[in-house]
Structure 1
């Protein structure tokens, strides 16, 4: 049995035309000529030691990619708490590539849950903060309820809370349908006065809810973050509308199939009745 060295796996990522291109285990296995299970095990180990980055895609999928190397100490990189975010043309180009890939993933989503997962993971990668989440509007309760969030966000702030439409910054942004950037939310009338969050970027998703990114640092978001976030939010909103339309079409198809089966059953009963009547008349 041929042994696959870690370097061979990394070489697959290095040969990609665009740095940071995400790959699935089957794609890596095909290049290496090995079993999918073997590729998955190698990728998992490389992700565990930090050589590769990974994220869940959809209900059962997962991708891996080679993250860009960190700049050396003393460079003009801007370090953020819990973040690999840094300025510069290379980083912006990478963010645009990530945004393009995320948009394609969103347009392939088959359910709302898939959209939620892709949106939160993309917000974390593109904006460069690990503290991201998506809140869905619940009209029966007039609140925004968390439906997806990054694990690191839970580690930093605990389980995400619901926000009332009235009386919260998040609810206000949703109600007005306008994005909001707060350099320091402690200067505002916040819903939770004890929050450890400082900067916040709130991106409404039409009538669906909001995509939210948070940082424990003051002034964490710049114009580029806002621009990328707004494009991502528009893509998420379009993807949610698309999966809702797909769900409606599937429901109509199921209803038509039910009516067809019901009609076939009635026709079968009519034939049986006619046969019974003919038999009785001829008796």
Structure 2
């Protein structure tokens, strides 16, 4: 169990949301995730929201996906706002701010968002809300869901920022990875035109292949806490359902990992 009171202030923190990644898909590809699962397996958790906008509001409030079990003692939050009157675990870091991002900024962190899906595009007022939590936010067309090299472009942008960052400045770097979100059929050979479990698996393999260089760059800065998880899953016809923003186990069950890069 990570003591966040030892992490905050001493480590960079990177939060990676693997947008729309299903838990069952993540487990099928676990052995191929050489970067995301280098030192451990995916943990099954429950998301606080069934689509990107809702889930990320919760994440930025400190409500990360919850362990998928009935043992409440294991449901230890890494972050918790102060002055709620609720009992918190000694390892939970408490922030006195409206949201986690602002709380880390008040602690001296430089907060950076590299967006992916539509809610991070800043193209309209709604799409400015989530990036607006951060001191710096970036989105380009080639970061989005229609670009088959989107993760490569997002990582390259992060690398440029890391290269210029003060080594003594603590960073909170957030990436919303868009590649796994539909459409992802183009990751399959043969010109498939339909998203599926298989195409999402292929998209995850691609995403993981791009993260090694980012982790190396973070490693060169010192110690980094990495939080990598999905915001929600999606249905591919199960029980007649398609997509997300609905109540089905393939949407609510998400993969989660936390690990130290050093």
TM-score of the superposed pair, with normalisation by structure 1: 0.24
Q: Which has the higher helix share?
A: 1
| Larger-gyration structure (1/2) | 1
Q: Which protein, 1 or 2, shows the higher relative CO under an 8 Å CA cutoff with sep ≥ 6?
A: 2
TM-score of the superposed pair, with normalisation by structure 2: 0.26
Q: Which has the higher strand share?
A: 2
